[in-house]
Amino acid sequence: MAHHRSGWRQWILTAVCLAAAPLACRGEESVRLDHVVVSYTGVSEEYAQAIARTVAAARAVAIERFGFDMPETITVTVTADPKGTTRLFNDGQDHFSLTVRSQQQLAQPSSSGIFHLYGMCHEVGHLAMYRPIRDHGWMTTGAAEGWAHYLGSRIVDEVYRREGEDLWPDRYDYRADGMKRLEGQLASSSPGDVSKGAGLWKDLAGIVGDKGVAPIFEAWGKARPDSADPGKVLGEVLLGDAGDKRLSRWWDGAQEVFVFKRPKSDFLAKTSKPAQLSGKSRELLHDDGRAAGKKSIAGGGHAVRFEVPGDRFCVTSVRINGSRYGQPRPPDEDFRVWICDADFQTIAEYRYPYSNFGYGKPGWVKVRLKPTLVPKEFIVCVGFDPTATKGVFMNYDGEGSGDSLVGLPGKPGEPFHDGDWLIRATVDQLKGAEAGPSDRKEADRKEADRKEAAAPTGSTRTWTDATGSFKIEAEFLGLDGDKVRLRKSNGRVITVPLQKLSDADQQFARKAAKQRSP
């Protein structure tokens, strides 16, 4: 389907002419109705009027039939650009952007192959969800796009009842684009993820009623789910104390489709006090400090891989070079900084106000962290959840080191080949980490004695790597040659090279293996 919200398929904003005001670019004409303004370039007033009427009717349906809060005015920017890409997206608040290559692409689906009228209703569906749920990083494509597909299809049918076939310039029975089409998709032998998600939202509306979903979104918007397991808090908020068995069964199935879990690192998350640091901080960087370009990445983040020069280092601050775009007034939202292990799994997550970044003027922004212990290799990721009309342009230099990535924690990042993001991390070492080899061996021997006394063979204990920076809780299963077999708390069995463990744990493993020998 040509219409999609690009925030759920990674897209990159590089254009300078983004909507910084309701009427964005010079040369546009406009159509104004109650609660809708359509600014258009390269298409006829007739189509602009049709789009305005569609959005106005869809907005009214969302409020009156489904009980959602809608913006006072929705602004739509329509541009015909022969060199552009056909796409439609929203900013999550009150703005739609539609680009077509020519006016011919605005014709009814049987001629153009594009569902523009449905698309406008689909975007109203997104606003119904994104306005109350600002922090929707936990949603899968099936949740977000599935909801917009379901509500958009419902709205199409309601708009037809209000406006009839004469709504679109080349009139047609667009009810075929509504629930009729969705029901056909659900009846197919293998519906896609978006259709499955739409079907689940349809089931929820059948349980709580058309106006029962809006209060759920409001409650979810106020919740602060743990990114490692968002479903737990979301389920508690949804079910409350009512104990509705139908709702409980629905959530048992829905959360498997709707909730994206951002796994936490096995590296033990630990913060320290500044007084525990050596005071000899150093800044890690790969960039040359000169911006060669800028990008904003929707559906992704900007990440850089670093390596600390020794044991027991903490990240104390991060510097980011960029500039805010959109409205001059910063949005009342936070951006995120994640500290991750080498596998892009979250160790710690921090939030900071968007207002840290200046509007339109690139510069360095420094954010302070609680001193956070990191392994030898770690990743700093910055995410802004941007749209076409809200975000931060991140600067990058002209020659990449191979250590910059695009992505978000929980999934493998993709290499960023254009350069290195201007992201830097300041680290400092914990006091005492500079102890000499003999001191370490003595400390390891004492630690081995302590662990052996505290944990019998086969019990769960804390295992530490040779650098002292990586720890896991696991049960000793045995020693196979030079490999230690461990069972983690989640039941997964892993093998670790003996020499990669601390001296204390190597001694414990050898003794435990001897005790198990017949």
425 shares its domain with 442: no
List the end-to-end C-alpha distance of the chain, in Å, as a whole number: 66
How many residues are present in the chain?
A: 518
* The 3-state secondary structure of 105-154, one letter per residue: HHCCHHHHCCCHHHHHHHHHHHHHHHCCCCCCCCECHHHHHHHHHHHHHH
Query: Does residue 491 belong to any structural domain of this protein?
Result: yes
Query: Does residue 269 belong to any structural domain of this protein?
Result: no
Query: Does residue 483 belong to any structural domain of this protein?
Result: yes
Query: How many whole angstroms separate alpha carbon 175 and alpha carbon 187?
Result: 18
Separation in Å, CA 132 to CA 146, 193, 352, 466: 17, 23, 20, 48
96 shares its domain with 214: yes
CATH number of the domain encompassing residue 465: 2.30.30.700
The count of other CB atoms within 10 Å of the CB of residue 88 is 23
CA proximity to 359, closest of 13, 20, 116: 20
Query: Does residue 177 belong to any structural domain of this protein?
Result: yes
CATH number of the domain encompassing residue 373: 2.60.120
38 shares its domain with 149: yes
When divided into structural domains, the chain yields a total of 3
Domain that holds residue 80: 6-258
Last residue of a domain, one of 258, 290, 309: 258
Last residue of a domain, one of 429, 450, 465: 429
- Name, in order, each residue with C-beta under 8 angstroms of 383's C-beta and a sequence gap of 6 or more: 137, 300, 301, 302, 335, 336, 338, 408
Please state the φ and ψ torsions of residue 338, each to the nearest 5 degrees.
-110, 135
> What local confidence, expressed as pLDDT, does residue 459 receive?
63
123 shares its domain with 40: yes
283 shares its domain with 249: no
Query: How many whole angstroms separate alpha carbon 170 and alpha carbon 175?
Result: 15
69 shares its domain with 200: yes
Query: Does residue 264 belong to any structural domain of this protein?
Result: no
Contact, 198 vs 151, CB < 8 A? no
Strand order in the sheet with 471-480: 460-464, 471-480, 483-488, 493-497
How much of the chain is helix, strand and coil, in % rounded to 5?
Answer: 35, 30, 35
What letter would DSSP give residue 433?
Answer: T
pLDDT in tens, the chain (518 residues): 333 333 333 333 333 333 333 333 445 799 999 999 999 999 999 999 999 999 999 999 999 999 999 999 999 999 999 988 898 988 888 999 999 999 999 999 999 999 999 999 999 999 999 999 988 888 999 999 999 999 999 999 999 999 999 999 999 999 999 999 999 999 999 999 999 999 999 999 999 999 999 999 999 999 988 888 999 999 999 998 667 899 999 999 999 999 988 888 989 889 999 999 999 999 999 999 999 999 998 778 999 999 998 889 999 999 999 999 988 889 888 999 999 999 999 999 999 999 999 999 899 999 999 999 999 999 999 999 887 678 999 999 988 888 999 999 988 889 999 999 999 999 999 998 654 444 444 445 544 544 444 444 456 788 887 777 667 788 888 888 888 888 876 666 777 888 888 888 898 888 888 876 65
78 shares its domain with 190: yes
159 shares its domain with 215: yes
Contact, 264 vs 383, CB < 8 A? no
192 shares its domain with 99: yes
Query: How many whole angstroms separate alpha carbon 409 and alpha carbon 109?
Result: 38
251 shares its domain with 341: no
287 shares its domain with 390: yes
Query: Does residue 172 belong to any structural domain of this protein?
Result: yes
CATH number of the domain encompassing residue 221: 1.10.390.10
Query: Does residue 265 belong to any structural domain of this protein?
Result: no
Query: How many whole angstroms separate alpha carbon 105 and alpha carbon 103?
Result: 5
Query: Does residue 268 belong to any structural domain of this protein?
Result: no
209 shares its domain with 339: no
Last residue of a domain, one of 403, 429, 455: 429
